[in-house]
Amino acid sequence: MRSQLVVLGIVAALASCDVRRATFTVGDTGPRIADSVADFSLVQGNGGWRYLYQEPGQPLKELGDINGMAWWMDYVTRWTLISPYSMHPNVHGKADILGKGVQYPVQRWTADVAGTADIEYAVAKANTLCGDGVIARILVDGVGLVEHTIAFNDDAGFSGTLHAPLLVGSNVDLFLEGGPTEDCDGTHFTAKIVAR
């Protein structure tokens, strides 16, 4: 069982202070303010997280279909999904022409605190049997911080820590792009956002 401590986190918010409770696990670098796995919810906006998708050249839209513990664009026809540990893009759809269309899943956290944060992330292929790989990106307020091309059989993937200044209302996006096909594009993609 992981030891958890509850701390009082104080984060400077421009000219004032925003005092909030945060939990962290021994070994973290500071109080965690968001966790894509622990905070996962079947309610849009809960904990500051939204579950979205994007079609090329179009604005982000909310995923609206829930099946099991996952958000889907359309469970019947599309592969586009976000679950607690993974994401999946769509290209050709599941079985018919209704599912055809490129869609990228985007898991977004909107900051309710300001300051410098560490974004601890891990990304790796979940299904390594086939496919043509994926591209995983992390963006803050639309600016790319990191991009990884992950081969179809790469179950080790990448992990790291990014440093980013956040304002109240800043958006941190986990963005997954598929290749020409979505075959076996299920990908583990998680992040913790930790105040410094």
Per-residue confidence of the chain (196 residues) as pLDDT tens digits?
Answer: 222 222 222 122 212 222 222 333 334 555 779 999 999 999 999 999 999 999 999 999 999 999 999 999 988 888 899 999 999 998 877 766 666 788 999 999 999 999 999 999 999 999 999 888 999 999 999 999 999 999 999 999 999 999 999 999 999 999 999 988 777 899 999 999 998 7
- CB-based contact 162:146 (threshold 8 Å): yes
CATH code linked to domain 30-195: 2.60.120
Domains of the chain, residue spans: 30-195
pTM confidence score? 0.82
**Torsions phi, psi of 160, nearest 5?**
180, 180
